[in-house]
Amino acid sequence: MNQLLRKCMVPLILLFVTQASAQERIITGTVTADGKAVPGVSVLVKGTATGSNTNVDGIYKIKVSATKGALIFSSVGYASQQATFGNQPIIDVVLAADNKALEEAVVIGYGTQKRKDLTGAVSSVKAKDLVIASGPEIGNMLKGKVAGLTIRQNSAQPGGGLDILVRGAGSVNASNAPLIVVDGFPISDLQQPETGGRYQAGTQSILSSFNPNDIESIEVLKDASTTSIYGSRAANGVILITTKKGKDGAPVVQYSNNFSVQKYVNKFDVLPLNEWMQLRNEAGQEQWNFDNGVFPYGTKTLAEAQANPINGLYHKLYTQNAINNVGRGTDWISLVTRDGSTRQHNLSISGGTKLTKYLISGN
C-alpha cells in the first residue's frame, strides 16, 4: 500500500513543480533614447516589488510570474514608460526626455533659469514635495530631499537649533552653516556669536520661524558658480527660500491644521535594581575566581582556592535579603521622557489686482 502511494505521489509532485516552473519566466530587452542605450533605468513589474535595472548597454532582464501584465520603465530626466507583456520574451523600449522637468524654472542667485540651461550644482524642492505632516519645521521636512544636505537637530526642544551642512564641513573652528536667503534678503541664522575662538551652535533654528505653508520653493546652491554672487558668506553653500505671492482675483482664504506626535523609541533595556544587585554579586565572584586561578581561569577548584585565597575570601556586596526587599527600583528613563505632541493651525488670505498683490498668513 505504501509503495503504491509513493508511486502515485511522485508524478503529482513533478506535475506541480513543472507547473510552478512554467509560470516563472525571464523577459529581456534593451532601453534606448535618441538611438543610444540608457544605463541605470529602473524596470518594475507593475503591482509588485519585483524590479531590475539596465546595465551599461541598456539591457535588462527581469523575472515575471504572471502570464500578462505591465513593466514600468523610469529614469531621471526621462518620462516614465509602461509596456504591457504577454507571452513575448523580448520587450524593447524607447524613452523620451522629460521636457516638463527641463523647462522647470529654478531660482538661483542671479534670478531664475530653466533647468536645461543650468550648469551649476543646484537642488530644488517645491512646496508639493514638503510633507507638512512630518513636523512643523522646514528643517525636518528637508531631510532626505536634497543630495549632499545634512540636517541634524542639536536640541530635543521643538524649534531647537539645527546643524546644517551642505556637502560636509569645511572648517574646524569657523561656522559651517550655509547662508539662508529669503526672497533675496540674507537673514541671520540665529547662531550664537563666537566665544573663545570657537563658533557655538545656536539654540533656535531660523527655519522654525517660517510657516511651511508660505513656502513656494527651496533651492540649495552647492558650488562656487552658483554661490559667488553672495561672496564669502556663501562659502558653505546657500539655501534660497522663495515664499508664495498673492494672485490676481478675489480674496482666497485657506485654512489647514496638522497634529504630530514625537515618541521616544528604542529605549535602553535597563536592569531592574534587584537584578542589577544580583548581577553585581555574580560579577564580583567571577573577578575573585579569576584572581585566584579558579577553573576556567586556572587549574584550581573553588574549594582549593577558598582554602588558600590570595586576598581573602569573597564576600557578596548585597545579601539575598536586601535583594529580595529592594524591589525593581526606579525607571529613570520613563520619568524624564514623555511623548511630545505639536498641533499647528495655518490661516492665510491672498489676492490682488494688476497693481497690487497681497498674502497675509499666520500660524
45 and 144 both lie in a single domain: no
131 and 211 both lie in a single domain: yes
Quick: pLDDT tens for 322-357.
Answer: 888 888 888 888 888 888 787 878 888 989 888 888
Is the sign of the CA dihedral 204, 210, 212, 216 positive or negative?
negative
In angstroms, the Cα distances linking 76 to 40, 41, 73, 264 are 9, 8, 11, 37
227 and 142 both lie in a single domain: yes
Nearest to 237 by CA among 323, 175, 288, 283: 175
Global confidence as pTM: 0.49
Residue 174: which residues within 8 A CB-CB, separation 6 or more? 199
Quick: pLDDT tens for 211-257.
Answer: 777 888 888 888 777 777 777 777 888 888 888 888 888 899 988 88
Selected residue with higher pLDDT from 210 and 88: 88
Quick: pLDDT tens for 90-144.
Answer: 999 999 877 555 455 555 555 555 554 455 677 777 777 665 545 556 777 777 7
**What pLDDT band is residue 3 in, cutting at 50, 70 and 90?**
low
282 and 321 both lie in a single domain: yes
Nearest to 152 by CA among 117, 125, 177, 171: 177
137 and 24 both lie in a single domain: no
71 and 89 both lie in a single domain: yes
At which of 48, 71, 97 does a domain end? Answer: 97
Q: Which domain does 148 fall in, by range?
A: 104-244
How much is the pLDDT for 277? Answer: 92
Domain contains 286: yes
Percent of the chain at pLDDT above 90? Answer: 10
- CA dihedral of 164, 167, 172, 174, whole degrees rounded to 10: -60
| Cell numbers given for 130 | 514638503
As a whole number of angstroms, the distance between CA 238 and CA 85 comes to 47
As a whole number of angstroms, the distance between CA 127 and CA 213 comes to 8
How much is the pLDDT for 62? Answer: 92
